[in-house]
Amino acid sequence: MSSDSSKKRKPKVIRTDGGPSEGKRGRPDTDQDAKYYSEEAEMDLRDPNKDYELYKETCQDLQRLMAEIQELKSKGNKDSASEIEERRIQSCVHFMTLKKLNRLAHIRLKKGRDQTHEAKQKVDAYHLQLQNLLYEVMHLQKEITKCLEFKSKHEEIELVSVEEFYKEAPAEISKPEITLADPHQQTLSRLDWELEQRKRLAEKYKESLANKEKILKEIEVKKEYLSNLQPRLNSIMQASLPVQEYLSMPFDQVHKQYETARHLPPPLYVLFVQASAYGQACDKKLAVAIEGNVEEAKALCKPPEDSQDDESDSDAEEEQTTKRRRPTLGVQLDDKRKEMLKRHPLSVTVDLKCKDGSLLLLTFYYLMNLNVMTTKAKVTAAAEMSMPISAGDLLCPDTLLSCLYPGDHGKRTPNPANQFQFDKVGIVSLNDYVAELGHPYLWVQKLGGLHFPKDQPQNPVIADNSLSASHMERTMKLLKMRLESRLALHKQFASLEHGILPVSSECQHLFPAKIVSRLVKWTALTYEDYLELSYTKDVVEAGLAEDTHLYYMALIERGTAKLQAAVVLNPGYSSMPPIFSLCLNWKGEKTNSNDDNIRAMESEVSVYYKELYGPKPGYQLLTNQLQRLCVVLDVYLETETHDNSVEGPKEFPQEKMCLRLVRGPSRMKPFKFNHPQGFFSHR
């Protein structure tokens, strides 16, 4: 029965109660009361909650009926067949109810999905409208930004200020009654005034051009006159040569020098001009000259000829040469290095003469590709001088000008850009080529007007006359002082090697009349030998000993006592005093680390050096320090207590007059000499 009911899915017709069927058939179709059954319409009228309750009640009834049928079947009574059939019919009705509820649930689900789909379509439509509106807003914002950033042509014109406009412009242009309240009209009026002014300036410009043409014609006439005058002047100069030689006024030679100077590179030209000016104003003995090949310098100034034919020929020749022999990589690098380190054909020489007639010859070169200047030095003494062994480095060209200014040793290039150039051709440092090229001291660059700031690099660096002029006088004085101090040291070393301390008469009052200790040895030391000495560590650690300094060893003796003095001579002697490190070999080895009196002796010569300067410029300082060292050694030995257990006279009898032999727990000795009283006291 259930299968028959499930197969019949046709819509049913619900007929109304009343009247016979025959009367209903006679009515027209539009007035029929018959309605087609629609589950969708019924679903709208039904309450889902009630359907749910009906579903639960139907399921409970089905369970109950099935249980009763099961119970009746289990009893096996023949009379129960009718009851079973009745309950089966009720169960089929309940099944029909469940099917109907199932169809209603599916219809509700479909309707819910349809409603959800419609809502999603509405949301998508609204979202699309929102995106369109946002795009329109973005477009409008871009247009607003374009309008705000719009720059009119008049903004690029530099107009006069508003105050000046109202002050100078006539009333018919400025219109203050309108423009003061309206910025737009004010801008238009200012533009009208600018146009009026430019028209006036254009008229003046035309007048100036006419005057320029007139002046140019006058200049041409005068040039022609001067060109005709030049041959006459040359003949006059040629005729005056004997007079110039007689009066020691070489105008012709100076003129030729300045003609040659035109071909100098800018740094050498600045040096030549400023050195010549300094010589004329401050030092008549200063001689400045130009040396080198002028023709090569002229060839460097000429621009290369641009010819396509020549280039094609040269390219063909290069191809042929490369086919014949291809140079190795090492040869190419050597050629690049030579090209990079190439000097200008011309150089400038400066001769500095001292009062005693000694001459310092400086030759300045310009490295074209590195844009730096170098110099070489040569010393010519006024008279023949003996060459002490220890004075070998004093007048050496490589060390003579080292540290003329503090820290300027001339071993590195002052141009920071050169290091990148060196990396390309495999040059480690310019120090390997200074013997051939000269030293690139910083003061040499400044004399040529070159300055290479490290914090703000300039490209390119241009020679500055004012920089050269500001350093010329001080540098020349330092060069003279360096030459004079080295020559003075040279003379002193000749005496020191023979054990003689050449104390001048002006410095005799600094020392007592009788000095027993004597200098027996004076030799030069290398920097490495100085570092190996145990009693020089304090000086090395303090940074007072560098490889640019000069090092010497002095040996002073008195009896069995031997005093070794390691001396550090700064290149800036005598403005920078020599520094002494002492080691006394007497009754053991005594240095500043184990004897406070040795440290006090070092202070007497290294700290209180100003007492030993003597007459300016103080070139006798080293000799006076060595003499003071002999004096303090006498005081040290004579004030030592005598051991009574040893028979015989005292080895070092006291000959110096001392107020107190020792003072304080450290038993310090009186090393200070008081003139003219002639006694020693403590500091």
Q: What is the pLDDT of residue 17?
A: 40
By the 8 A CB rule, do 372 and 413 touch? yes
Selected residue with higher pLDDT from 190 and 120: 120
* Mean pLDDT to the nearest integer, 9-16: 40
261 CB contacts (<8 Å, ≥6 apart)? Answer: 269, 272, 273, 290
By the 8 A CB rule, do 644 and 530 touch? no
Any idea which of 205-214, 390-399, 431-440, 510-519 has the lowest mean pLDDT?
A: 390-399
Check pLDDT > 60 for residue 314.
no
Task: Indicate the Cα dihedral angle 96, 102, 106, 107, nearest 10°.
Answer: 50
Q: What is the pLDDT of residue 454?
A: 73
409 CB contacts (<8 Å, ≥6 apart)? Answer: 402, 403, 548
Q: Is 380 exposed, middle or buried (0-12, 13-18, 19+ CB in 10 A)?
A: exposed
Longest dimension (CA), the chain: 179
Give the tens place of pLDDT for each residue, 232-260.
877 877 777 777 666 666 666 677 788 88
Give the tens place of pLDDT for each residue, 581-615.
999 999 899 999 999 999 999 999 999 999 998 88
Give the tens place of pLDDT for each residue, 86-100.
889 999 999 999 999
Query: Predicted confidence band at 31 (pLDDT cuts at 50, 70, 90)?
Result: very low
314 CB contacts (<8 Å, ≥6 apart)? Answer: none
Separation CA 249–CA 232 (nearest Å)? 21
* Mean pLDDT to the nearest integer, 354-378: 91
Separation CA 675–CA 96 (nearest Å)? 145
Q: What is the pLDDT of residue 236?
A: 78
Residue 129 vs residues 115, 137, 140, 142: alpha-carbon distances, Å: 21, 12, 16, 20
Give the tens place of pLDDT for each residue, 276-299.
999 988 888 899 999 998 889 888
Separation CA 499–CA 478 (nearest Å)? 31
Selected residue with higher pLDDT from 661 and 307: 661
Separation CA 601–CA 629 (nearest Å)? 7
User: Which regions of 250-345 does DSSP assign to beta strands (E)?
Assistant: 287-292
Q: What is the pLDDT of residue 329?
A: 64
| Beta bridge mates, 436 | none
Plot region of 614 (φ>0 → left; ψ -120 to 50 → alpha; else → beta): left
For all residues of the chain together, what is the average pLDDT?
Answer: 84
| Beta bridge mates, 439 | 375
| pLDDT over 70 percentage in the chain | 87
Q: What is the pLDDT of residue 373?
A: 94
Angle at 151 between CA 150 and CA 157, to 5 degrees: 170
Check pLDDT > 70 for residue 27.
no
Per-residue tokens: 532: 């190996």
Q: What is the pLDDT of residue 212?
A: 95
Query: Predicted confidence band at 647 (pLDDT cuts at 50, 70, 90)?
Result: low
Selected residue with higher pLDDT from 455 and 546: 546
Select from 429, 466, 467 the least CA-distant residue to 445.
467
